[in-house]
């Protein structure tokens, strides 16, 4: 029987033919279902071929990920250690297979001798125990806009540099075996694989990637689109292709020396989307920066397979399925491959914390124990890893303010994260205890690490609106909307800020956007609320309060916007009861709603004072340097007094 079993969807048969021929040209026998003779039983023949094959090559496409047959065949290859996954169109593998390094053939044109097939050839040879070529991968020919006219002196100098690079290629594996990776990348070729697309797109993507990485971060681009990829141990490459009415941008990261593709992701955008290059560059750079920064802290040589697994976790963390379990599974795969990798354990801890906070009964305890053990393991392995301290802080009881702040301060005192997330986490804590001015400072410092990312900009703008710095907040929100006009979090802030800026028309326009992640019940209640605020009509106010009450009766529909809407309509009692329900159901991080401007008139209420006392905030506020912003105002609540005191409920 054949040595290679090729699993694919029948919808991809025409694309599979040249792939089967190419693998045969490698010197292997290939079995695919054309080998079934007329007298053979279909399922039995496939099962026999699958069992006897030495390697199972699975061709993932947008069709094959939906095929139960292909999933079963891939699962058999995975479970028996024979799986080699490839993607023909850049489509992400289904859950259960995403932790395995997938070879990207989306830019392959079907030619048997193409260098794009080299990673596949080497992967099959390794799986079969055959020797692989040690030659460094051939550098892609520069596109016309990169060619330069050089003098004979430059040519001679380039030849000498080439000889030096060959030497580097030979000795690098020996050097790498004794130390960690260098988190430096070059921008390689971005292939324009479909006709009719603007010729400048590849150059534009390269420039946007360069801007997204920045010039002062640990993970840095050392060679831009016009440079040689041999100047860095890693290369970001990509392709741009039409997919019906959309354009698919596929970005990947490759080891310059081994030629192995470590990570790949496809992003689909509308053909006319002028913002696509920048958005794709920002999203891809977040994942690569996450992976290389964490891996650089590992003092041993990290294999391509292990680094690929860690990049897979970064992908799930930053732009994955949104399934916390999938992120945790990806992190577990990292710790299984590298049990002495601190950032693998902290990834596992960070992935388990949300499950510990949201799961019920025994599951919550189990997830909390896993998160706590993983966080402590990460710190034991590397006490300069801030993620371990951040995870431990997230596991503390609601009223452990001093202990939580101590852990978060520790996180910002050790190694700085490439995303600035340790600053953002501390900012979230400060906002939740009413120190919003201090939170804005932390958000600003965190945002400096990723100035184009929506999550850091939204946090900073929200804090600035809360403390009355509207012009600064407007500028940041406007800049963010230029890059992410459809981002739901950005649009939600636009709605919420209208409670304080009185720009009701802006809120009503945003509420009509289909991209806004709001349930219909919430959207309707908020629309009537802003209509009431705009018109001042008492009947509309009554209608709005009735709709808001329906939302508040369902914990799933109660959020900061509902609390803010009650307060804006001057129903302070309902606002406080909704805030109390929100904090009780979703945790301490939602306590920041108590310190938003439109709740100012409610702070003299006994309900408000009892609520902050129940949360244990006065005890924290009495500590030196912990005074909340609301106790610095001229109209500060009674419980601030000369000295902060607890109020008896």
Question: In this prediction, what percent of the chain has a pLDDT beyond 90?
Answer: 48
Question: Tell me: the pLDDT tens digits for 433-484?
Answer: 999 999 999 999 999 888 888 889 999 999 999 999 999 999 999 999 888 8
pLDDT at residue 362 in the model: 61
Return the structure tokens found at 458: 């939204």
Judge whether residue 533 has pLDDT over 60. Answer: yes
User: Averaged over 574-602, what is the pLDDT?
Assistant: 88
Between 219 and 528, the more confident residue is 528
* Range name among 1-10, 223-232, 304-313, 461-470 with the lowest pLDDT average: 223-232
Question: Tell me: the pLDDT tens digits for 195-253?
Answer: 889 999 999 998 899 888 876 678 888 865 444 545 689 999 999 999 888 999 999 99
pLDDT at residue 150 in the model: 28
Between 44 and 288, the more confident residue is 288
* Range name among 227-236, 393-402, 515-524 with the lowest pLDDT average: 227-236
pLDDT at residue 470 in the model: 93
User: Averaged over 359-379, what is the pLDDT?
Assistant: 85
Closest by CA position to 125, among listed 25, 77, 55: 55
Report yes or no: 269 and 197 within 8 Å, Cβ to Cβ. Answer: no
Task: State the Cα torsion 322-324-325-327 to the nearest 10°.
Answer: 80
Mean pLDDT of the chain: 83
Hey, is 574 helix, strand or coil?
Answer: helix
Q: Strand 246-255 and strand 220-223: pairing?
A: unpaired
pLDDT at residue 218 in the model: 83
How far apart CA 342 and CA 433 sit, in angstroms, is 31
Q: What is the pTM of this model?
A: 0.70
User: Averaged over 275-296, what is the pLDDT?
Assistant: 93
How far apart CA 621 and CA 616 sit, in angstroms, is 9
**DSSP letter for each residue of 519-558:** -HHHHHHHHHHHHHHHH--HHHHHHHHHHHHHHHTSGGG-
* 549 confidence band (pLDDT: 50, 70, 90): very high
């Amino acid at each position: 029987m054949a040595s290679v079993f090729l699993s694919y969807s029948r919808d991809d048969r025409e694309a599979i033919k040249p792939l089967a021929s190419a693998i045969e040209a490698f010197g292997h026998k290939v079995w695919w279902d054309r080998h079934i003779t007329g007298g053979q039983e279909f399922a039995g023949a496939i099962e026999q071929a699958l069992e006897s094959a030495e390697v199972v090559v699975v061709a993932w496409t947008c069709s094959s990920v939906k095929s139960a047959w292909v999933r079963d065949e891939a699962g058999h290859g995975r479970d028996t250690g024979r799986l080699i996954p490839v993607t023909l169109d850049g489509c992400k593998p289904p859950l259960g297979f995403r932790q395995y390094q997938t070879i990207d053939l989306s830019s392959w044109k079907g030619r048997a001798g193409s260098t794009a097939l080299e990673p596949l050839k080497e992967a099959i040879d390794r799986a079969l125990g055959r020797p692989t070529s040690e030659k460094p991968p051939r550098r892609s020919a520069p596109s016309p806009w990169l060619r330069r006219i050089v003098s004979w002196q430059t040519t001679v100098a380039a030849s000498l540099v080439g000889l030096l690079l060959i030497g580097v290629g030979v000795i690098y594996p020996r050097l790498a075996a004794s130390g960690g990776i260098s988190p430096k990348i070059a921008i390689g070729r971005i292939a324009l694989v479909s006709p009719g697309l603007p010729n400048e797109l590849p150059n534009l993507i390269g420039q946007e990637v360069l801007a997204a990485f920045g010039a002062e971060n640990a993970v840095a681009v050392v060679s831009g689109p016009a440079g040689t990829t041999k100047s860095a141990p890693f290369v970001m490459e990509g392709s741009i292709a039409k997919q019906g009415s959309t354009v698919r941008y596929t970005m990947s990261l490759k080891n310059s020396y081994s030629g192995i593709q470590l990570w790949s992701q496809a992003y689909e955008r509308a053909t006319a989307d002028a913002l696509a290059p920048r958005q794709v560059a920002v999203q891809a750079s977040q994942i690569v920066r996450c992976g290389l920064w964490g891996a650089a802290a590992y003092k041993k040589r990290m294999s391509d397979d292990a680094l690929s697994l860690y990049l897979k976790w970064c992908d799930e963390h930053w732009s994955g399925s949104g399934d916390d379990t999938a992120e945790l599974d990806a992190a577990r795969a990292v710790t299984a491959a590298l049990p002495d990798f601190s950032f693998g354990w902290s990834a596992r801890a960070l992935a388990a914390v949300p499950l510990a906070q949201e799961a019920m009964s025994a599951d919550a305890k189990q997830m909390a124990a896993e998160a706590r053990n993983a966080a402590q393991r990460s710190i034991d392995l590397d006490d300069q890893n801030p993620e371990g301290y951040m995870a431990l802080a997230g596991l503390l009881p609601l009223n452990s303010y001093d202990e939580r702040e101590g852990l978060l301060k520790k996180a910002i005192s050790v190694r700085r994260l490439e995303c600035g997330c340790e600053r953002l986490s501390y900012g979230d804590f400060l906002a939740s205890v009413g120190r919003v001015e201090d939170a804005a400072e932390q958000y600003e410092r965190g945002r400096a690490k990723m100035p184009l990312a929506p999550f850091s900009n939204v946090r900073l703008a929200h804090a600035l609106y809360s403390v009355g710095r509207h012009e600064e907040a407007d500028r940041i929100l406007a800049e963010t909307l230029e890059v992410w006009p459809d981002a739901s979090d950005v649009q939600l802030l636009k709605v919420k800020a209208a409670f304080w800026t009185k720009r009701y028309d802006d809120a009503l326009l945003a509420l009509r956007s289909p991209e806004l992640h709001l349930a219909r019940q919430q959207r309707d209640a908020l629309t009537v609320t802003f209509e009431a605020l705009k018109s001042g009509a008492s009947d509309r106010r009554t209608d709005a309060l009735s709709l808001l009450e329906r939302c508040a009766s369902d914990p799933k529909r109660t959020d900061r916007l509902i609390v803010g809407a009650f307060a804006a309509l001057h129903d302070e009692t309902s606002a406080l009861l909704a805030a109390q329900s929100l904090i009780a159901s979703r945790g301490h991080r939602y306590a920041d709603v108590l310190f938003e401007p439109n709740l100012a008139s409610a702070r003299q209420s006994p309900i408000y004072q009892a609520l902050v006392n129940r949360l244990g905030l006065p005890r924290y506020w009495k500590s030196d340097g912990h005074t909340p912003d609301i106790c610095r105002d001229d109209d500060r609540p009674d419980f601030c007094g000369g000295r902060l005191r607890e109020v008896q409920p």
